Amino acid sequence: MLLKRFDCLKRARVTKSGLVTGLGFVLLYSVLSVPVARVADRSNRRNILAAGLVVWSVMTCLTGLVTNVWELATTRFLLGAAEAAAIAPSISLVGDMVSGARRPLTLSLLTTGSGLSAILFIPLVAMLAQAYGWRAAFLAAGYAGLVLAALLALTVKEPSRGARGAGARPSVALAETARFLLGSRAYLFTVAGGAFAGVSLYATQVWHPAFLARVHHLDMAQIGWATGALRGIGSIAGAILGGVIAERLGRRDARWRLIVPGLACLLAWPAEALFLMSPNLTLALAGMFGCHLFTAMHFGPIYAVCHSVARRGMSSTATAVFILVANVVGQVVGPLAIGLLNDRGAGLFGAEAIRYSLLVAGASLPIAGALMMLGARSLGADIGRAEP
């Protein structure tokens, strides 16, 4: 009895740590993205990115020096605050460097960074950790970030607001921004679609490794190689493919900039079903690769839509609100729903319950696709509405 109680307490501490360092990080990062974006819509975005990278790097170094879970939680929270300065200002800055027609591919290339890091830097960090310990790995990553922050500040120029031939627009009040974005049907459908896509995205990130362990009986090393390589390569290929298709078709008709990500979400669910239902491991991994490929196709075009339907002085905020809704809904609903469904089905299906739980979560993908395609009907008019 005492051993059982100790085990329960130990699991509770692990759960609390996971909530603080995982869910807490995502929620803080998502919520802070909006006020940081408001600042980015009014001031120098390059400097915001550089400052955020400096704070992120310092917190990464300090993570390598923590001695207890509360110090770890503090560094993770501050990492989340620093990372809030990353995506929305980056998308706004890069989006203003190119025309609207080139924006889907350009922003898709921007989103390949996480996939490249999974392929190139995660193995390097793992080798550092194995050779010198996990603390050295965090310190090395932090020092590298400080170097990149200096390069960013010294080499990147702040572009003019909007690549539409007009000068910078005066800062826009939050109420005016909210009214304008609420008046865009394409933007509202895009945000709703992103929320449903986020449910599946976060569920697969959390539960795919557990599925491979429970159903296909892979060990941790095998799971790491399979998920790392397939996710990294699939996400890079999908992001580039989605950007190329959306850009080329979008030149003929702007609606394709939302139709392409919508179709990609529709195709991701059958790929997820192949991964979950195939008894053959090779076919299952092919399905997982397809799921990551199709899921990644929507990121660049979606960010381009958020930028294009917003007026100058609103683009960072539009992107940040999308990130906030997609991350909060996806992170809270996705993994939690799978856990609840898995617990309910364990008595009937045993270890196979995770298969059917993930299949239910995957049903959010065709809903996301349908919402995006509905938003495409208003996209052309909403882009024109945002023009000066």
Contact 48, 80 (CB under 8 A): no
Q: How confident is the model at residue 331 (pLDDT cuts 50, 70, 90)?
A: confident
- Closest CA relative to residue 125, chosen from 110, 143, 111: 143
**Cα angle 137-108-143, degrees, rounded to a multiple of 5:** 20
Tell which residue, 77, 35, 41, 72, has the closest CA to residue 56. 77
The helix or strand, by DSSP H or E, that contains position 309, with its residue range, turns out to be none
Whether the predicted pLDDT of 265 surpasses 90: yes
DSSP code for 171: P
The residue-averaged pLDDT of 262-291 equals: 93
Fold of 20-155+173-386: Growth Hormone; Chain: A; (1.20.1250)
Q: Residue 49's CB: how many other CB atoms inside 10 A? A: 21
Residue type, 5: R
Of all residues in the chain, the percent with pLDDT exceeding 90 is: 35
Q: What pLDDT is stored for residue 174 in this prediction?
A: 81
Structural contact between residues 90 and 156, judged by C-beta atoms closer than 8 angstroms: no
Which pLDDT score, from 0 to 100, does residue 217 have?
Answer: 87
User: What mean pLDDT value characterizes the chain?
Assistant: 82
Confirm whether pTM is higher than 0.75.
Answer: yes
Q: Higher pLDDT residue, 13 or 51?
A: 51
User: Which of 361, 363, 124, 379 shows the shortest CA–CA distance to 257?
Assistant: 379
CA distance 330 to 142: 28
Banded model confidence at residue 362, pLDDT cuts 50, 70, 90: confident
SS3 351: helix
How does residue 23 score in pLDDT terms, banded at 50, 70 and 90?
low
Furthest CA-CA distance within the chain: 73
Distance, C-alpha 222 to centroid of its chain: 24
- pLDDT of 199-257, one tens digit each? 888 888 778 888 888 888 888 778 877 777 788 888 899 999 999 999 999 988 999 99
Residues making up the chain, counted from first to last: 388
Per-residue model confidence (pLDDT) at position 165:
42
- Please tell me the predicted confidence (pLDDT) of residue 242: 93
Q: Judge whether residue 57 has pLDDT over 90.
A: yes
Amino acid 282: pLDDT: 92
Q: Which of 102, 113, 87 is nearest to 246 (CA)?
A: 102
- Beta-carbon-side half-sphere exposure of residue 200 (alpha carbons within 13 Å): 29
What is the residue whose two structure tokens read 């790392």?
228
Residue 382: Cβ-neighbour burial (10 angstroms; 0-12, 13-18, 19+)? buried
pLDDT in tens, 71-108: 887 887 788 778 888 888 888 888 888 877 788 888 88
Across 22-26, 202-206, 251-255, 378-382, least confident range = 22-26
Model confidence over 158-200: pLDDT tens digits? 887 654 444 444 567 888 888 999 999 999 999 999 999 988 8
Of the candidate ranges 22-36, 144-158, 223-237, the one whose mean pLDDT is the lowest: 22-36
Residue 124, burial from CB neighbour count under 10 angstroms (0-12, 13-18, 19+): middle
Res 11: pLDDT: 39
**Alpha carbon distance 316, 143 (integer Å):** 28
Q: Which string of b and e fits 325-342 if b means at least 16 CB within 10 Å?
A: bbbbbbbbbbbebbeebb
**Which of the pair, 167 or 366, is modelled with greater confidence?**
366
CA–CA distance, 360 with 91 (Å, rounded to integer): 32
Q: What is the pLDDT of residue 5?
A: 35
DSSP tag of 350: G
Name, in order, each residue with C-beta under 8 angstroms of 384's C-beta and a sequence gap of 6 or more: none
Helices (H), the chain: 2-18, 24-40, 45-63, 69-83, 87-95, 103-111, 113-132, 134-155, 174-182, 185-215, 220-252, 256-277, 281-296, 299-308, 315-349, 353-362, 364-376, 379-386
Calculate mean pLDDT across residues 327-331: 82
**pLDDT for 127 beyond 90:** no
